[in-house]
């Protein structure tokens, strides 16, 4: 079966939606890059920006305020 670009994009969108749903149902975090920022999203949908200070320590900033 040969698929075109539009069909492939639709398949990838559905796969992405399904993966997010499965992660949320399992209570897992979702990590991604958004506008050049590292984001962690929890199962309730709250987003946190992940940053590292000069010493390399990880910090998370609430994005849902």
Domain boundaries, the chain: 5-62
Residue 35 has pLDDT above 90, yes or no: yes
DSSP string of 35-62?
Answer: TTEEEEE-TT--EEEEEE-TT--EEEEE
Confidence of residue 33 (pLDDT cuts 50, 70, 90): very high
pTM, rounded to two decimals = 0.72
Confidence of residue 65 (pLDDT cuts 50, 70, 90): low
Residue 62 has pLDDT above 80, yes or no: yes
Beta pairing class for 30-34 and 47-52: unpaired
């Amino acid at each position: 079966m040969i698929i075109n670009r539009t069909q492939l994009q639709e398949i990838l969108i559905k796969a992405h939606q399904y993966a997010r749903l499965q992660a949320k149902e399992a209570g897992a975090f979702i990590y991604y890059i958004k506008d050049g920022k590292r984001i962690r999203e929890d199962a309730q949908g709250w987003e946190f920006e992940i940053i590292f200070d000069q010493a390399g320590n990880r910090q998370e900033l609430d994005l849902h305020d």
